[in-house]
Chains A and B, each alone.
Chain A
Amino acid sequence: MVPPLLKILTRKNWAVKDVNRKGGAMVPRPGGPVILAGIILSEISLYFLLPHNSHITKGITALLATTTISFVVGFIDDRKVMGGWFKPLALVVAAIPIIVLGAYEPNLDFPLFGDVKIPALYLGLILILIPITGNTINSIDVMNGIASGFMTIASFSLVLVLFILQNYSVAIMTLPIALTSLAFYKYHKFPARIFPGDSGALTLGAAYGAIAIIGRVEIIAIVALLPAVINSFLFLSSVKRIVEHRQIKRPTVLQDDYTIAATKEPDAPVTLVRLLVAAKPLTEKQIGIAIFKLAIFSGILAIITAIISGAKL
């Protein structure tokens, strides 16, 4: 589906400059529509293939509704740059279908120690989790292939986690997110032929958050996202406010040899990439590989967490 979208985006001149590329090539954006289409078509197919029960019906419907609303939020931001608070607040709306359809259980499972029943608090948690996962993936979409590659690793880790926990139907529901991320990565990896844009990153992040809630693996899902969570944490603790990333100073600079180095600007935000290039400048490809290694490490920690969850203390 990407090649036809590329043609449409190129014809409409919807492209942005790849600032880290030699010559600053214009790259079509957003790839969100194909990401959304990939998830919707696969989930609808699964709906007809999986055995029919209310858990699966509610789960797939909530996942599709949350994902679609998140895409719309991202697409608005792709076309018109909104303020820093727009996406977190608008993504709260994307979480509402999960509550309305009752595609959750009000128990929060803590690995090793068991679960706690928190009916009222859990509703607040749902409203917070979707904006967190959506914006976390969006904030790591800083270079060619990173958001889609990272989501591929995190989603496949989550599939394994759900299989280990014998939550087979939700594990199968997670596969479209992992496979869509992988398929998009083919066009997004360095040198990127398309960017996902906010619509693509928010769609993937919100879908992942919805699966975490529907599959009752909220904590383990966050473990698999830790490198992206660290990136958001570093950013927020240095900027100390919620702000649109296009409104702040760049944390890195492109050098003459096309390697990326940490900026010397004292008030530029601290990010994962800035830390990675702090010791020595790296190429965009090397930065991507370093982040994928961190994602694999977090994925392994998530799988270990799922395995030890079986042994309650």
Chain B
Amino acid sequence: MTNLLLFAFIGIMWVLMLAGGGILVTMVSKITISGYGDEMDFFIASVIKAIIALVFVVFWIVILSKLKNKIFQKQLKP
């Protein structure tokens, strides 16, 4: 049973990785800023993208942590 749960957990991680990448490429990478000069526009947009990407990573870890507690609830009890 634990083995099956581990296979499922790996599968979920895989889907989350692909989905997270999809959101970053299709939405976040398209963000542009204008009105501060070319160089500043590029810099500000990059900072915003980096912050969003980091928020996504934290969000991803929180989801995984919650999933881990739910999936392995029985096994993790001392």
**Interface flag for A258 (CB, 8 Å):** no
B contact residues around A298 at 8 Å (CB): 10
Q: Across the interface, do B21 and A110 meet the contact criterion of CB distance under 8 Å?
A: yes
Q: Which of B7, B49, B78 contacts A264 (CB 8 A)?
A: B78
Q: Across the interface, do B10 and A219 meet the contact criterion of CB distance under 8 Å?
A: no
Alpha-carbon distance A118/B25, docked complex (angstroms):
11
Alpha-carbon distance A297/B72, docked complex (angstroms):
19
User: Nearest CB to that of B71 among chain A residues?
Assistant: A275
Which A90-139 residues have a C-beta within 8 angstroms of B?
110-116, 118, 120-121
User: B-side binding surface: helix, strand, loop or mixed?
Assistant: helix
Q: Across the interface, do A113 and B78 meet the contact criterion of CB distance under 8 Å?
A: no
Which B44-66 residues have a C-beta within 8 angstroms of A?
46, 49-50, 53, 61, 64-65
Q: Across the interface, do B18 and A278 meet the contact criterion of CB distance under 8 Å?
A: no
**Interface flag for A17 (CB, 8 Å):** no
- Could you write out 21 A-B pairs with CB less than 8 Å apart? A112-B18, A112-B21, A114-B25, A219-B21, A222-B17, A229-B13, A230-B9, A230-B10, A237-B68, A264-B78, A272-B6, A275-B6, A275-B72, A276-B6, A290-B3, A294-B6, A294-B7, A297-B10, A298-B10, A305-B14, A313-B22
User: 6 shortest A-B CB distances, which residue pairs?
Assistant: A110-B21, A278-B75, A113-B25, A266-B78, A116-B29, A113-B22
Chain B interface (Cβ < 8 Å from any Cβ of A): 1-3, 6-7, 9-11, 13-14, 17-18, 21-22, 24-26, 29, 46, 49-50, 53, 61, 64-65, 68, 72, 74-76, 78
Chain A interface (Cβ < 8 Å from any Cβ of B): 110-116, 118, 120-121, 219, 222-223, 226-227, 229-230, 233-234, 237, 262, 264-266, 270, 272, 275-276, 278-279, 290, 293-294, 297-298, 301, 305, 313
